[in-house]
Amino acid sequence: MMMRHGGAMNTAMMFAKKGLLGGEVGVPNKWGYLVRSTPLVRKTSTFTANLSDQKDNKNVDKTPPSSQGGAGDNKDEKGITSYWGVQPSKITKPDGTEWKWNCFRPWETYKADVTIDLTKHHKPTTFLDKMAYWTVKSLRWPTDIFFQRRYGCRAMMLETVAAVPGMVGGMLLHCKSLRRFEQSGGWIKALLEEAENERMHLMTFMEVAKPKWYERALVITVQGVFFNAYFLGYLLSPKFAHRMVGYLEEEAIHSYTEFLKELDKGNIENVPAPAIAIDYWQLPQNSTLRDVVEVVRADEAHHRDVNHFASDIHYQGRELREAAAPIGYH
């Protein structure tokens, strides 16, 4: 009994040190951000909780929630309650301000490598390469007609399509890894990283270009068609699918270069960079839209390299897992 009691005390002390029994304890992580753990509340059981609720039921106000000032009146005062009580950690920046983004964390941010070669181009030689190249070129023609020089909306539309291949490829490799009981060589993570990075591009440009209703409808249509087409294309020929994405990223580099030219000419207002972009790419606080377009263009150049590399692996008769995936290569 004494041993059990002593073990319970040691466990309690351990949780107390970690801030899990009342209060919060902040611990700086390796990135310099203060992470505060939320209190852990251990409830006994649903049955016991129900009995307690029945005992206290006489003292409960019978007034409907709508007249008590529910979540609809002030969402900041009341959080979402759950029996399990799972709460995210509170993260503080080095300057003491609270980290406000739940869609990504400080350790997922990075400084973009804008020195990457933007002029690299894979010359199509094989039949599949030429088919991938001209498929992308044919997709650009209606895009030029519809958006013309509205590069903010054009970028928004481009990112809704560019975020699909990484997710589809990662999903199919994930299922393949499960079926064959084998490692992926890191390619599942690399492709999902690419999809997430493209999605963050979209979240950024949503702050700059407010899409109209018909542009939203176009996105739904294009995404539905492209997702299914790319899914089938990847099943039939991964070498073709990755090559096509490589050429798609080359076109994205060209589009963002034109975007920068319009900004430099003054045809597009160089507004301050959105807050989400400043935190995600670790940009200076006085950054502008031009700075954002530059880092996004660099990301697209990295995606170009990854997908052309993946296609080359398949052309050599090998599988992706046989080559180390460029994880973290945005």
What pLDDT was estimated at residue 186?
A: 95
Of residues 80, 102, 81, the one with CA closest to residue 91 = 102
3-state secondary structure of 105: coil
90-92 and 26-28: which strand pairing? unpaired
Query: HSE-up of 241 (CA within 13 Å, CB side)?
Result: 24
What pLDDT was estimated at residue 138?
A: 86
Query: Across the chain, what does the average pLDDT equal?
Result: 79
Calpha distance 256→234 (Å, rounded)? 27
3-state secondary structure of 263: helix
Calpha distance 243→241 (Å, rounded)? 5
37: number of Cβ within 10 Å: 17
Percent of the chain as helix, strand, coil, to the nearest 5: 60, 5, 35
What pLDDT was estimated at residue 5?
A: 46
Name the strands in the sheet holding 34-36, side by side, starting at the edge strand that comes first in the sequence: 26-28, 34-36, 90-92
Q: For 248-279, what is the HEC assignment?
A: HHHHHHHHHHHHHHHHHHCCCCCCECCHHHHH
What pLDDT was estimated at residue 205?
A: 87
What pLDDT was estimated at residue 34?
A: 60
Instruction: Report the CATH fold assignment for 149-319.
Output: Ferritin (1.20.1260)
What pLDDT was estimated at residue 90?
A: 83
What pLDDT was estimated at residue 45?
A: 42
Handedness of CA 169, 174, 180, 184 (dihedral sign): positive
**Per-residue model confidence as pLDDT tens digits over 191-241:** 999 999 999 999 898 888 777 787 788 888 888 899 999 999 999 999 999
Phi, psi of 214 (to 5 degrees): -75, -25
What pLDDT was estimated at residue 151?
A: 65
Task: Look up tokens 């030429």; give the residue.
Answer: 130
**Per-residue model confidence as pLDDT tens digits over 153-178:** 677 778 888 899 999 999 999 999 99
Element (H, E) at 201: helix 187-208
Pick out the chain residues at pLDDT < 70: 1-80, 143-153
